[in-house]
A and B are shown apart, each in its own frame.
Chain A
């Protein structure tokens, strides 16, 4: 017997049928690109150009093109790396953890969120690879025997753990995402009229027919993938945080980092998903699928993770004082009142105060307010990483080597350039791939569309609830 909550709002509005879902989602893929999309792509390509130019400068002239100096040995690069990796986390969280928790509202947003993960991780990977200075030797991080004899990589180093974590995370997320796309590619293939589209989607859909046996195995595979991806997401940002936590630098050497970084990652990831989905649902007319209910649910996750992050900031401060270590105490006083006070207080305002506004139902359910707040969260989380990295490094144990860090044009160029790379990939995805998981939305349609319907498949087998009684809940 299934319980239908009379309070819960429908997840799909507009009285859709299965065919409507196919139509609404395929429309964007099948139609000619619209002007707004083309303009957005042009802007993204412009920033991608900046990225290519900055990377060329970095590779041709070396890392001296960046603003790094004697104590601040990694600044914007690692800040951007951690920020991008963090943004990626929401996708896997939505597709894996919410799948295990049977959260039906994930269905309309998981596809785009997973795409965001893949693209964010690509952007993230650019920074450590470029920071190597000689990216063509990037394979040196792999445990391969080298010309000096069998000198192996150092498995005690968190930087090497990152190599394994990020590459596993990227490939597993990619496979998870692609597997989810296969049945939807089949749908588009079977509707395609043009010869190029039919061939392209035929290749992409791997000959998917939708046979019951395949679906049965498919569900097993997605459940196990979700099961292994869940600890994977948590491990990735935990390991990223260990890049800092295993160092002895005051401000970095804290055991709170792994959970605090994971919460921060989910926080910034959900903010980015919201930013993108608010635009996508408007541009692609998908308001019946990405409803206020979805936005509100995501905002609730933002309140939770934002509060965890806020508590972590305060805990760090408390522990610095409570530990009695003068270097630790100085590092934190310097963060709040030193030359980078503006970065610290931007972080506090954006991450601790703004998400708390979501406690107010009106703000939580307002599209405009959500959009503005999510932008603030994204900025705040960037500042969080900047504060942790630069304020801890710019004043080390030796006051004679204290310096300030300022980014060069190339630093800024690479950062805004990755935004261009990200949006180029996202716009291409949004045009040529189904942005909403059609088959998953179809599975939840009858139970969550708000339209009175006949017996649920589950009930038809047990047939315990009379039809009329069941419909009453929806009226």
Chain B
């Protein structure tokens, strides 16, 4: 059982939030997570989020799909049960383009989405780890983790307030 304590700074404007992230990080305070109701342009840079490697994964899934489709069609119609259809060669590559294309897209899309769900830890569940429910509506919430004996709560409070947080709350999350 691990309990985590957070200080939550609630912001009302995204531009204030962006400046606050810059200043708080510059002050040497580690930001645990920022929750926003919609994606904010430029937040990756100020938070220092690295570019996602999902495009590479997507590309690899696509290659796998294409390879599988070509192998399947060439093996089935070319070797396993060769049939002459309309006088075409057994391995009629131009006719294999549509199925190869569709399977490439199929594997790219589904492979990437499944990977995305796994890396983000998204799956159907009843208990939801939302720290402040208003962050899915219209508020921008910055969470700073409180480590006992390490974090100066008052300092973090002041830092959030002076950077434009309209509210500062504390929240404890009990992990069972």
A residues adjacent to B (C-beta < 8 A): 17-19, 22, 143, 149-156, 158, 160-161, 164-165, 167-168, 171-172, 175-176, 179, 182-183, 186-187, 189-191, 199, 202-221, 224-225, 228-229, 231-232, 235, 239, 242, 439-440, 442-443, 454-458, 460-461
Q: Contact: A206 with B124, CB < 8 Å? A: yes
**Is B106 engaged at the interface, CB distance under 8 Å to the other chain?**
yes
A205-B128, A217-B119 known; A186 vs B136 contact (CB < 8 Å): yes
Residues in chain B near residue A212, CB distance under 8 A: 33-36, 40, 43-44, 47, 49
List B98-137 residues whose CB lies under 8 Å from chain A.
98-99, 101-103, 105-106, 108-110, 112-113, 116-117, 119-131, 133-137
Q: Contact: B33 with A164, CB < 8 Å? A: no
Q: Which of B13, B110, B126 contacts A171 (CB 8 A)?
A: B110
Q: Contact: B128 with A207, CB < 8 Å? A: yes
Q: Contact: B125 with A207, CB < 8 Å? A: yes
Most buried by B among A183, A202, A228: A228
Q: Contact: A457 with B40, CB < 8 Å? A: yes
Q: Which of B55, B85, B106 contacts A172 (CB 8 A)?
A: B106
Residues in chain B near residue A224, CB distance under 8 A: 54-55, 58, 108, 112
Residues in chain B near residue A229, CB distance under 8 A: 105, 109
Q: Contact: A211 with B33, CB < 8 Å? A: yes
Q: Which of B88, B117, B137 contacts A206 (CB 8 A)?
A: B117
User: How distant is the Cα of A443 from the Cα of B95 in the complex, in angstroms?
Assistant: 44
**Is B147 engaged at the interface, CB distance under 8 Å to the other chain?**
no
Q: Which of A151, A165, A206, A442 contacts B37 (CB 8 A)?
A: A442
Most buried by B among A172, A210, A242, A461: A210
Q: Contact: A202 with B126, CB < 8 Å? A: yes
CB distance from B82 to the nearest CB of A (A): 10
16 more A-B residue pairs beyond the given contacts A172-B109, A213-B49, with a C-beta to C-beta distance below 8 A = A150-B80, A152-B77, A152-B80, A176-B109, A202-B127, A203-B126, A208-B136, A210-B36, A212-B35, A218-B39, A228-B62, A228-B105, A232-B102, A235-B105, A457-B18, A457-B40
User: How distant is the Cα of A287 from the Cα of B120 in the complex, in angstroms?
Assistant: 35
A187-B37, A202-B126, A207-B128 known; A152 vs B76 contact (CB < 8 Å): yes
A18-B37, A190-B136, A203-B124 known; A458 vs B42 contact (CB < 8 Å): yes
Q: Which of A175, A442, A457 contacts B109 (CB 8 A)?
A: A175
Q: Contact: B105 with A172, CB < 8 Å? A: yes
Q: Contact: B95 with A202, CB < 8 Å? A: no
Q: Contact: B38 with A442, CB < 8 Å? A: yes
CB distance from A215 to the nearest CB of B (A): 4
Residues in chain A near residue B72, CB distance under 8 A: 143
**Chain B residues within 8 Å of chain A by Cβ, number:** 70
Q: Contact: A215 with B36, CB < 8 Å? A: yes
CB distance from B134 to the nearest CB of A (A): 8
Residues in chain B near residue A458, CB distance under 8 A: 41-42
CB distance from A259 to the nearest CB of B (A): 16
**Is B92 engaged at the interface, CB distance under 8 Å to the other chain?**
yes
Most buried by A among B18, B92, B113, B137: B137
Residues in chain A near residue B167, CB distance under 8 A: none
User: How distant is the Cα of A221 from the Cα of B114 in the complex, in angstroms?
Assistant: 11
Residues in chain B near residue A439, CB distance under 8 A: 37-39
Q: Contact: A152 with B138, CB < 8 Å? A: no
User: How distant is the Cα of A199 from the Cα of B127 in the complex, in angstroms?
Assistant: 9
List B146-176 residues whose CB lies under 8 Å from chain A.
none
Q: Contact: B137 with A182, CB < 8 Å? A: no
Q: Contact: A189 with B128, CB < 8 Å? A: yes
Q: Contact: A156 with B86, CB < 8 Å? A: yes
Q: Contact: B128 with A225, CB < 8 Å? A: no
Q: Which of A161, A176, A190, A461 contacts B130 (CB 8 A)?
A: A190
Q: Contact: A457 with B15, CB < 8 Å? A: yes
**Is B25 engaged at the interface, CB distance under 8 Å to the other chain?**
no
Residues in chain A near residue B47, CB distance under 8 A: 212-213
Closest 9 CB pairs of A and B: A18-B138, A190-B133, A161-B98, A439-B38, A152-B76, A206-B122, A215-B39, A164-B102, A19-B138
A212-B34, A224-B108 known; A235 vs B39 contact (CB < 8 Å): no
Residues in chain A near residue B85, CB distance under 8 A: 154, 156
Q: Mark B15-55, 1 if CB is under 8 A from A, else 0.
A: 10011000000000000011111111111100101001011
Residues in chain A near residue B125, CB distance under 8 A: 202-203, 206-207
CB distance from B73 to the nearest CB of A (A): 5
Residues in chain A near residue B62, CB distance under 8 A: 228
Q: Which of A206, A213, A235 contacts B123 (CB 8 A)?
A: A206
Closest B residue to A455 by beta carbon equals B15
User: How distant is the Cα of A191 from the Cα of B112 in the complex, in angstroms?
Assistant: 30
Q: Contact: B138 with A168, CB < 8 Å? A: no
Closest B residue to A158 by beta carbon equals B98
CB distance from B144 to the nearest CB of A (A): 14
User: How distant is the Cα of A450 from the Cα of B51 in the complex, in angstroms?
Assistant: 33
Q: Contact: A209 with B108, CB < 8 Å? A: no
Residues in chain B near residue A167, CB distance under 8 A: 106
User: How distant is the Cα of A217 from the Cα of B77 in the complex, in angstroms?
Assistant: 40
User: How distant is the Cα of A151 from the Cα of B99 in the complex, in angstroms?
Assistant: 18
The 30 listed contacts between A and B (C-beta, < 8 Å) are A22-B138, A143-B72, A155-B96, A156-B85, A168-B102, A168-B106, A175-B113, A187-B136, A189-B128, A189-B136, A190-B137, A206-B125, A210-B36, A210-B135, A212-B34, A212-B35, A212-B44, A215-B36, A215-B40, A217-B54, A217-B116, A218-B39, A218-B116, A221-B116, A225-B112, A231-B105, A232-B105, A235-B98, A439-B38, A442-B37
